[in-house]
Amino acid sequence: MVEICDIEVVVFDILGTLVDEPGGLRAGIRDAVPTADDAAVDELLTVWQQHVELEQQRIEQGSRAYVSSEIIDREAAHRVADRAGIADPATVARLATASRRLPPWGDSVAGLERLARRFPVVGLSNAARTVLLRLNADAGLRWHQALSAEAVQAYKPAPEVYQLALDTAGCPPERVLKVAAHAWDLRGAQAQGMRTAYVQRPVGDPPTSTDVFDWRFDGLDELVTALTET
């Protein structure tokens, strides 16, 4: 069995794992609909999230041709605007870019910086290239390389997305650690032979009783300490 000291490259999920995606989208919706109360904002957030999830699933199942997350976000913004009665084109256009402005969790920036002194650190996201560029800059996330699933015209958990990270890492999959706050993402990485580490976040998809991941951590600091002090 590969020990944590045998890891050569660390690959991070970004949305939800390093940035607060629901919180950032909620802020974008509140900016677009300043009169909405918390319940209304949460309802509109659900409209957005359900559209994104459904369209990514349709693409994965082959019932829709691949389009980037930027296009799906634009569609989601229009759905939210229709539900909220927003007619101003500039407001809808800004809402459509809300995924570029997602706040990092409190330990994300410093944790990446610490880890990057010891390992090559890679971001792997379903976010489109343009979205990923702006998101990383806005949140202050520093990578050795940030990879978009757009490069392989697919969405996680499609195998080719994880293969993109493995090809970039250039080492055996059992020496690549995939870190995420989403069990579904880790299952996809695990199926490609990658090591897996679940990091608990207030949002995400917790492991079930049948999930067997290599490591589980309560936060990023705990993971970084385990990796850098072995």
User: Are residues 120 and 28 part of one domain?
Assistant: no
Rounded CA separation 152/168 (Å)? 13
Answer yes or no: do 10 and 81 share one domain. Answer: no
Could you read off the pLDDT of 138-178 as tens digits, one per residue? 999 999 999 999 999 999 999 999 999 999 999 999 999 99
Residue 230's pLDDT band, with cuts at 50, 70 and 90, is low
Average pLDDT (178-204) is: 97
pTM: 0.95
Check whether residue 93 and residue 166 sit in a common domain: no
Nearest Cα residue to 84 out of 47, 57, 56, 112: 47
Return the CATH number at 40: 1.10.150
What is the per-residue burial (b if ≥16 Cβ within 10 Å, else e) of 127-152?
Answer: bbbebbebbbeebebebeebbbbbeb
Residues 86 and 120 in one domain: no
Both 85 and 117 in a single domain? no
Do 139 and 162 reside in the same domain of the chain? yes
Mean pLDDT to the nearest integer, 195-210: 95
Residue 160: give the domain boundaries. Answer: 4-20+102-228
Residue range 106-127, pLDDT digits in tens: 999 999 999 999 999 999 999 9
CA distance to 33, 55, 108, 129, per residue, from 135 (Å): 22, 21, 13, 10
pLDDT at 1 over 60: no
Looking at the fold, whether 58 and 156 belong to one and the same domain comes out as no
Point out the domain boundary residue: 72, 99, 126: 99
Q: What percent of the chain has pLDDT over 90?
A: 95
Does one domain contain both 109 and 196?
yes
CATH of the domain at 213: 3.40.50.1000
Is 2 a residue whose pLDDT tops 70? no
**pLDDT tens for residues 214-224?**
999 999 999 99
Final residue of a domain: which of 99, 119, 136?
Answer: 99
Q: What is the chain's mean pLDDT, rounded?
A: 96
Structural domain total, the chain = 2
Boundary residue ending a domain (99, 133, 167): 99
* Whole-number percent of the chain with pLDDT over 70: 99
* Whether residue 38 is found in the same domain as residue 69: yes
In this structure, are 181 and 123 located in the same domain? yes
